[in-house]
Amino acid sequence: MVEKEGADLIHLDIMDGHFVPSLTFGPDLVSQLKQITRVPLDVHLMVDNPRKMIPEFHKAGADWISIHQEATVHLHKDIQTIRELGMKAGVALNPATPIHFLKDILTDLDYVLIMTVNPGWGGQEFIPFCSRKVSQLRNWISGRNLNVHIQVDGGIKYANMDEMVRDGADILVIGSEIFHDEDPAAVLRKIKNKSDSLSLA
């Protein structure tokens, strides 16, 4: 469905039951998805010690991998590992984590994932102060003339897409809005049509 309706990425939340309370799935499911879709797989590792899992998800077919700044003490090394394996590399920040933690790593990134809810559960409401983080990060990236995308995840809906784009996001992760609807394909088409008009990356 997501491929037919024009999704640009398939965002996969990997949770280990430690970094966040929930437990989802692992490399096997990613590998199975890789066999049935040409849409790039965007793997978001919400796990402790992500370094151990990066090679496994690369082997499974991940095209993009983001890891949490809060989950590793060797962020630069882990980002280099992702890039050396040929994947796009991102850093995710929890809502309460300031963007200044990215100061020395930003030039090594393909994207930053700003969590706009506390990670671990779907269906949460957007946290308003995260808008400010997105706009500050966009100003920072533009001021340094970097080619770094801003991805936002959590409480993103058709109704607040415009605000997110105005703040500076160019990749929107939308889950509950689509998959909790009786006609997810129709919702995705509606979102895709709007995103095209907003000139998202």
Extended beta strands in the chain, E state: 10-15, 41-46, 64-68, 88-93, 111-115, 149-153, 171-173
Q: How many other CB atoms sit within 10 Å of the CB of residue 114? A: 26
What are the distances in angstroms from CA 148 to CA 22, 43, 105? Answer: 29, 17, 11
- The catalytic residue positions are 13, 153
Q: How far apart are CA 196 and CA 175, in angstroms?
A: 18
**Are the beta carbons of 191 and 177 closer than 8 angstroms?**
yes
Q: How far apart are CA 201 and CA 198, in angstroms?
A: 9
Q: How many other CB atoms sit within 10 Å of the CB of residue 25? A: 13
Q: How far apart are CA 164 and CA 152, in angstroms?
A: 8
